Amino acid sequence: MIGTGILKGMAVTARNFVGSYFEKDRLITVQYPEERNPLPENYRNFPFLPYDGDDPEAGLRCVACKICEKECPPQCIYIVKSEDKKPDYMDKPQFYPKVFNIDISVCMSCQICVEVCPFEAIKMDKVFELSRRERFDALLLRKSDLAKPNEYYHSICPTDAAEVDAKLAEAAAKKKPAAPAAPAAAPPASAA
């Protein structure tokens, strides 16, 4: 009989409508600014530079090797290498980036810079509320905007951060078996 198909469809709609009052599974809308879904640990959005210790300048792990600048597919990283050297977490003198800019209007959060960096110096961030009134300068993140403490990294990705810390501590211990652990090498584990 003509019309039965439509009635069957309406029954589905009615079931969904009534069901949404009882079944959590059918009610999925989150009232965004007030309510938020927790972000999964693997979530990634734009890179940042974690630093050890308290000083964002001294604690930066980046040695300005420019590998990430070269590998970044849309070429949105800009690095200027320093002329002098500063001690890194193993007290070995290293270059550091005088300028480290990421243009996040170009960056596509592909994580390739993180994968290629040999020094665990760049990691993926989780901020996404980044709308700005201005298109150019406000979306160019400079070294001071990008540098964030290692504790912050622990708070957003506890598992990964703990792994990285262990790896760095191990490398430091291997390089200098005699010396006491460098202050920057082992950031407080309680940070997580």
Q: Interface with other proteins by CB under 8 A: which residues? A: 2-6, 8-9, 11-13, 16, 25-26, 28, 40-44, 67, 71-73, 108-112, 115-116, 124
- Between CA 22 and CA 26 the distance in angstroms is 8
Q: Does 66 bind ligand SF4 (CB under 6 A)?
A: yes
Q: Which does 159 bind (CB under 5 to 8 A by kind): ligand SF4, other proteins, none?
A: none
Among 14, 18, 99, 108, binds ligand SF4 (CB under 6 A): 108
| CA pair distance 84, 121, nearest whole angstrom | 19
Nearer to ligand SF4, 113 or 182 (CB): 113
With the C-alpha atoms ordered 32, 35, 41, 47, is the resulting torsion angle positive or negative?
positive
**CB of 36 or CB of 133, closer to other proteins:** 36
Least Cβ distance, residue 177 to other proteins (angstroms): 28
182, 172 in Cβ contact below 8 A? yes
183 is a contact residue toward ligand SF4 (CB under 6 A): no
How far is 28 from 30, CA to CA, in rounded Å?
Answer: 6
CB closer to other proteins, 64 vs 124: 124
Separation of alpha carbons 88 and 149, rounded Å: 15
Please give the Cα distance from 121 to 65 (Å, whole number). 11
146 binds ligand SF4 (CB under 6 A): no
